[in-house]
Structure 1
Amino acid sequence: MYLMYVDESGDAGVFTGNNSPHYILSGIIIHVDDWKDSLERIIKYRKMLRDTVGLQTRVELHCSELIRIQKIEEYKAIPKFTRLALITSFVGEMPALFSKGKILNICLRKEALPHCTDFQTLAWSRLIQRYDTYLKKADNSKGIIISDDTGEAIIRSLLRKMRVYNPVASHFNASYHNPVIDNIIEDVFYRDSAHSHIIQAADFVAHTLYRKEYPKGSLKKYGLDRAFNLLEPILLKQASTADPLGIVRR
């Protein structure tokens, strides 16, 4: 039995120049037998942050807030350099925190896809399909999805549809086959990220992938454009053979 914790970066709307040019989903996949150990390692890391930078364990770790504070008042007591170093530190620890896990990433560049694309449906269908394939290859195991609270009705309908009808183009000819989703149990379970250390970790994965894809000059000196690469040991590279890091882009 596996768990996949999911968070997103960007919005799913058509790019207008005033919103995000991307839509990213990142999922951290953990076997239930490893869940407790991973959680305990995160809590130990959070206690280290409490002791070194004064960030209490109850305070949510939120990547974009560490860069530009808008809501989390506790971050104001931490110097900017320390906050940005914390991002690289946390991401760099993830191969140890989730030593037996895998990370699945979907990254849609809106300008590279048709203007009429439903980015949320496309991204989630790719995530669900790749996760189900992973489960089938992992001794035909079962799994559930736990996500930050977003788009519940749309994703519920999508997953239920894919359990019955999921046409995928053949790699060998012009035909289609129907690999229905049958290893994912129940609908997606939703959690407020403030109450889930692992969803917070998925937020850092998604946001640092965004910073890799769209590097900002003023943040390069902090290494944020390179932080995502620290995850390479646990990336699910089989998700896309077209990308060296396994990032699904279409």
Structure 2
Amino acid sequence: MHLIYIDESGNTGTRKDPDQPHHLIAGLIVPEEDIRNIEDAVDGIMRKHFAVQATSPDFELHGADLYSGNGAFRGVPPIDRIAAIHDTLDVLAGTGAKVVWASVDKIRMRSSWHPHQLAFLFLVERVEDYLRSQEARGLLIADECKEVEDRLIENLRQYKKSNTGWGWRPTPIKQIVDSIHFVQSKNNLLIQCVDLVAYFALKFYRQNVETFDTFMALPEPKPAYQDHIASRLTAKRKSVDEIGRKIQALTVVSKTYPT
């Protein structure tokens, strides 16, 4: 059995915010035998880097706060926050954990669905593909998302009953068992891990898109693309790039819509 922990980044509801154009859902797929080892290791990482804060019942590993130094991480030096992120991703890389993600461009999408529903559909298809390749079953566990929880439960029920029934590859859902279970992230370390994955997967994706777009806008003759990348790597962008590459190494499949 594999447990698939799900969280999103870039959620602005149905509002097409030009400052937050992408809605990304990530799934952290973990074989059941690795779950306790990851929990223990990540708990140790938090205690190592954040000492007393990590013992608080309200303490939570949260990608946005880790990056910005807000919330429980206010006053923590960037070097310690970045080290905690890398240590957590290294733990995941040392197990059988894998990442899948799906992103929807809210500005360009042509659908009446909530972006979260559409990204969830694409994520479910790719989780199903991975589980089939492993001849494994999987159970979905997601961070609370009150706005769409009932719709996602019903969507998954329909996908299992027939298929995903949308786009060019309607997929029968056979390997995902039961329903989708929603939990509070503060009570689940693996949900906190996928929060981190979703946040930085989206930042890395958007940074790469922006780098490519600015390169294409340059007049001829253009510099070598790698030189253009290097010229834009501020300390913050370099951190996102390094973290993003680790997530990329864990990722078995992804989907962007529209392509």
Residue of structure 2 aligned with 1:209, choices 170, 193, 201: 201
Residues 92 and 231, structure 1, Cα contact 8 Å, conserved in 2: no
Does structure 1 residue 199 correspond to structure 2 residue 215?
no
Q: Name the CA distance, whole Å, in 2 between partners of 1:146 and 1:231.
A: 20
Counterpart in 1 of 2:25? 25
Counterpart in 2 of 1:87? 85
Q: Name the CA distance, whole Å, in 1 between partners of 2:69 and 2:141.
A: 26
CA apart distance, 1:148: 0.3
Q: Pick closer, same or farther for the CA change 1:14–1:117 going to 2, 3 Å.
A: farther
Counterpart in 1 of 2:63? 63
Does structure 1 residue 148 correspond to structure 2 residue 139?
no
Q: Pick closer, same or farther for the CA change 1:61–1:22 going to 2, 3 Å.
A: same
Amino acid in the other structure paired with 1:24 = L
Once the two structures are superposed, residues 134-176 of structure 1 have per-residue CA deviations (whole angstroms, 9 ceiling, x without a partner) of: 222222x221100100121010010011112323666xxxxx7
Counterpart in 1 of 2:106? 110
Residues 168-183 of structure 1 correspond to what in structure 2 (within 5 A)?
179-183=171-175
CA apart distance, 1:46: 2.3
SS at match of 1:23: strand
Residue of structure 2 aligned with 1:75, choices 55, 73, 76: 73
Q: Name the CA distance, whole Å, in 2 between partners of 1:86 and 1:182.
A: 37
Once the two structures are superposed, residues 3-33 of structure 1 have per-residue CA deviations (whole angstroms, 9 ceiling, x without a partner) of: 000110011424143x621101111111112
Residues 101 and 123, structure 2, Cα contact 8 Å, conserved in 1: yes
Q: Name the CA distance, whole Å, in 1 between partners of 2:114 and 2:160.
A: 20
**So what's the TM-score if we normalise by structure 2?**
0.76
**So what's the TM-score if we normalise by structure 1?**
0.79
Residues 223-234 of structure 1 correspond to what in structure 2 (within 5 A)?
223-234=239-250
CA apart distance, 1:69: 5.3
Higher deviation after alignment, 125-134 or 149-158: 125-134
Does structure 1 residue 158 correspond to structure 2 residue 158?
no
Instruction: Count the aligned residue pairs.
Output: 227
Counterpart in 1 of 2:116? 120
Counterpart in 2 of 1:185? 177
Q: Name the CA distance, whole Å, in 2 between partners of 1:220 and 1:76.
A: 17
The CA RMSD measured in Å over matched residues stands at 2.6
When you count helix as a share of all residues, which structure comes out higher? 2
SS at match of 2:154: helix
Residues 62 and 192, structure 2, Cα contact 8 Å, conserved in 1: yes
Residues 142 and 181, structure 2, Cα contact 8 Å, conserved in 1: yes
Q: Name the CA distance, whole Å, in 1 between partners of 2:45 and 2:16.
A: 37
Residue of structure 1 aligned with 2:129, choices 119, 127, 133: 133
Amino acid in the other structure paired with 1:198 = L
5+ unaligned residues in a row in structure 2: which ranges? 211-231
CA apart distance, 1:89: 4.2
Amino acid in the other structure paired with 2:190 = I
